[in-house]
């Protein structure tokens, strides 16, 4: 019996090692940790000591997006970055809804299970509604918020969102997302104002978590939810007062082809006491304005 258990452990360990074999540890040199949630095992990194910084990614990225932030900010803080279920090194559960509200519930469970307090919440893209909704549920645990390009309100009346919604819900969109890995291979590139800022090595680390059709379903689910979850976004927006009295820093890429400047104006109008720093770059500020945005976060936390 003992021998059988040992063999099973070795199989599990070897399978895990194999599934992580594509990770470039020179770029992502962190200890991999896992937490069992009701919906599956979520992968995360937990580096450093001090004030807690919780990084929340969007699509089609994973915690790798924040690698340089973790390396630098963990020198004086405790940096935690998870991969949403279906992304990065986390489980890819079958038949999961994969909506932002589902991801947000998982994040809320993650926060409570680790008993995180006095959190500096950093969000981006779909990680905006996912992270902020979890923050609303746990408002007493949130100390400050750093917002990269994102939204948090109804999308069903926006022409740009409706255009994407029609594609995502068509047979052509489904084919492109699931068969051609369109989200990572094409849309991610389009998110860069300067394509030279996305090296082949870095791009490959975003491609690798989605090797086949089934693994790409979470990407399609979120694409459909851009408009599909519109009512839910609006309900969260109406509850933002639970977080609006926190300290806010907005870091915004002004050349974003997806989440344009009118979105920034809406944030600034709602968060009149927030500080904004604009960067001449695209959607992925973390990749195109890395050092400058790390500096802004450091100053924001130490002010």
Read off the pLDDT of residues 203-261 as tens digits, 9 standing for 90 and up: 999 999 999 999 999 999 999 999 999 999 999 999 999 999 999 999 999 999 999 99
Exposure string (b/e) for 75-84, b if CB count within 10 Å is 16 or more?
Answer: eebbbbbbbb
- For residues 255 and 300, give the distance between their C-alpha atoms in angstroms, rounded to a whole number: 23
Please report whether residue 20 resides in a domain.
Answer: no
Predicted confidence at residue 2, as pLDDT, reads: 47
Residue 114 backbone dihedrals phi, psi, to 5 degrees: -90, -5
Please report whether residue 132 resides in a domain.
Answer: yes
Number of independent structural domains in the chain: 1
Predicted confidence at residue 1, as pLDDT, reads: 53
Please report whether residue 75 resides in a domain.
Answer: yes
Predicted confidence at residue 277, as pLDDT, reads: 98
Domain that holds residue 150: 40-302
pTM of the model: 0.93
Please report whether residue 192 resides in a domain.
Answer: yes
**Domain CATH code at residue 45:** 3.40.50.1820
Predicted confidence at residue 20, as pLDDT, reads: 78
> Within 13 A of 196's CA, how many CA atoms are on the CB side?
0
Q: What's the pLDDT tens digit per position in 42-98? A: 999 999 999 999 999 999 999 999 999 999 999 999 999 999 999 999 999 988 899
Predicted confidence at residue 19, as pLDDT, reads: 56
Q: What's the pLDDT tens digit per position in 33-49? A: 999 999 999 999 999 99
Predicted confidence at residue 234, as pLDDT, reads: 98
Predicted confidence at residue 221, as pLDDT, reads: 97
Please report whether residue 72 resides in a domain.
Answer: yes
Please report whether residue 10 resides in a domain.
Answer: no
Q: What's the pLDDT tens digit per position in 127-160? A: 999 999 999 999 999 999 999 999 999 999 999 9
Distances (CA, A) of 60 to 54, 71, 86, 299: 18, 22, 10, 29
Q: Are 296 and 249 in contact (CB under 8 A)?
A: yes
Please report whether residue 22 resides in a domain.
Answer: no
Predicted confidence at residue 17, as pLDDT, reads: 40
Predicted confidence at residue 96, as pLDDT, reads: 87
- For residues 139 and 45, give the distance between their C-alpha atoms in angstroms, rounded to a whole number: 23
Confidence grade of residue 6 (pLDDT, cut at 50, 70, 90) = very low
Which residue, 259, 252, 129, 131, is CA-closest to 187?
259
Predicted confidence at residue 3, as pLDDT, reads: 53
Predicted confidence at residue 199, as pLDDT, reads: 98
Confidence grade of residue 270 (pLDDT, cut at 50, 70, 90) = very high
């Amino acid at each position: 019996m003992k021998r059988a258990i040992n063999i099973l452990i070795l199989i599990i360990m070897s399978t895990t090692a194999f599934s992580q074999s594509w990770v470039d540890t020179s770029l992502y040199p962190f200890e991999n940790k896992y937490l069992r949630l009701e919906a599956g095992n979520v992968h995360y990194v937990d580096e450093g000591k001090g004030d807690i910084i919780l990084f929340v990614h969007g699509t089609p990225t994973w915690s790798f997006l924040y690698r340089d932030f973790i390396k630098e900010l963990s020198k004086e803080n405790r940096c935690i970055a998870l991969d949403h279920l279906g992304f990065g090194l986390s489980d890819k559960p079958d038949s999961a809804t994969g909506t932002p509200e589902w991801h947000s519930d998982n994040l809320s469970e993650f926060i409570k299970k680790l008993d995180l307090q006095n959190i500096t919440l950093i969000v981006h893209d779909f990680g905006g509604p996912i992270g902020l909704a979890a923050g609303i549920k746990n408002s007493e645990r949130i100390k400050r918020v750093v917002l990269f390009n994102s939204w948090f309100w109804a999308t069903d009346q926006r022409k740009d969102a409706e255009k994407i919604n029609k594609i995502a819900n068509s047979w052509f969109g489904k084919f492109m997302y699931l068969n051609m890995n369109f989200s990572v291979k094409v849309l991610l590139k389009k998110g860069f104002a300067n394509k030279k800022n996305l090296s082949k090595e870095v791009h490959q680390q975003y491609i690798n978590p989605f090797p086949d059709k089934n693994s790409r379903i979470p990407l399609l689910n979120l694409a459909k939810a851009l408009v599909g979850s519109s009512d839910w976004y609006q309900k969260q927006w109406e509850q933002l007062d639970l977080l609006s009295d926190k300290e806010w820093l907005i870091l915004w890429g002004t050349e974003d082809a997806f989440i344009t400047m009118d979105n920034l104006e809406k944030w600034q109008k709602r968060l009149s006491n927030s500080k904004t720093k604009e960067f001449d770059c695209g959607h992925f500020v973390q990749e195109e304005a890395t050092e400058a945005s790390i500096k802004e976060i450091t100053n924001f936390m130490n002010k």
